[in-house]
Structure 1
């Protein structure tokens, strides 16, 4: 496959690049500075996610593209960039990494609506909840998928034992390596086009080690 990863130097992006390379996939690795490590299977490129025309070209010229841009320095800019991407209507398949905070507790309540949700994470959670709503409003026009981690994600171990759910948390923790497995699985064998799914590590202690 010919894969693109936008946000390739972050925790999730670098884990996905590593997992894709492990499987022998070719990866174009995009970051703001273009400083992803190069190798026989990885070609680094510089990209600003706000450059909608460039992002559309990337999506349309690859088998699948991952967008993992958290935008913690400017959440509104990230939402605007996704909105512009939706309006541009790329024809290729792409996967967006969303936040766990916008997962559902039940049909009417998201995690960020609960009293115990940490206030510090509200801006990110609400931003990606709104981004998800935007994509769902255009479900038939785009080949999008959103994947959200468990409420806690951090570098750990690659266990390969995953639990997945649609919209509601599949568990409490996922290692970035296990999360990357789920992402590349979806890249290679798409199961969730036009919807959001979420993933957790089955054996938390092993994944955290």
Structure 2
């Protein structure tokens, strides 16, 4: 399978690249600067560059987006607008988005709107919620969003995890096992045109 990964050098994206390469897939690492990633082809592209996205999607079976919105205080509008555009751009490639835990639901209420949700993470959660809405409103695009558990961090690759629909199924997940879940879904699609969640 030909897989392009935006955010290929990030905490999550690097593990998705590693897992895809481990399984023998052809991977293109997409970053702003075209950084070299061992075992993968390199491509420079910005998230909001529609022309580059269409070129990349045209040469791959799947395009994975493992890029969070800015955590440096910058506006999230370009990030949200880019995903809104991607959701409305018809391509043959499957679109796979690394979602956010804040947009998952507890008793029908998004986690970001529950008491005690950290204020520092609320802007990112709000933006990821809007991204989810954009794909849910899309037509003609084959998309999937996988949201991690509330805590995601580097850890150990166990190859074991739990899946859920819209509600968290655990408190944490390692980036390695998150990547295993991503590749399992790409190789054996079971959540096309919907969001699901994963935890250890």
TM range (shorter): over 0.9
Tell me how far apart the structure 1 counterparts of residues 36 and 149 of structure 2 sit (CA, whole Å).
26
In the alignment, structure 1 segments of 5+ residues that lack a partner are 202-209
Tell me how far apart the structure 1 counterparts of residues 52 and 165 of structure 2 sit (CA, whole Å).
31
Alignment match, 1:64? 62
Partner-residue secondary structure (3-state), 1:169? coil
Partner-residue secondary structure (3-state), 1:88? coil
Tell me how far apart the structure 2 counterparts of residues 199 and 21 of structure 1 sit (CA, whole Å).
21
- 1:34-59 C-alpha deviation (Å, 9 max, x unpaired): 114232xx111111111012112212
Alignment match, 2:33? 33
Alignment match, 2:192? 193
> After superposition, where does 1:34-183 map in structure 2 within 5 Å?
34-39=34-39, 42-72=40-70, 73-107=74-108, 109-138=109-138, 140-183=139-182
Using the TM superposition, name which of 29-38 and 8-17 deviates more: 29-38
Alignment match, 1:207? none
Partner-residue secondary structure (3-state), 1:11? coil
Alignment match, 2:19? 19
- 1:125-167 C-alpha deviation (Å, 9 max, x unpaired): 01010110111111x4210000110000000000111100011
Partner-residue secondary structure (3-state), 1:83? helix
8 Å CA contact 2:101–2:148 kept in 1: the answer is yes
| TM-score where L is the length of structure 2 | 0.95
Tell me how far apart the structure 1 counterparts of residues 107 and 169 of structure 2 sit (CA, whole Å).
13
Tell me how far apart the structure 2 counterparts of residues 20 and 74 of structure 1 sit (CA, whole Å).
32
Alignment match, 1:206? none
RMSD, aligned α-carbons:
1.1
How many residues align? The count is 197
8 Å CA contact 2:89–2:141 kept in 1: the answer is no
- 1:167-199 C-alpha deviation (Å, 9 max, x unpaired): 100110000000000011111111111000010
Tell me how far apart the structure 1 counterparts of residues 99 and 36 of structure 2 sit (CA, whole Å).
22
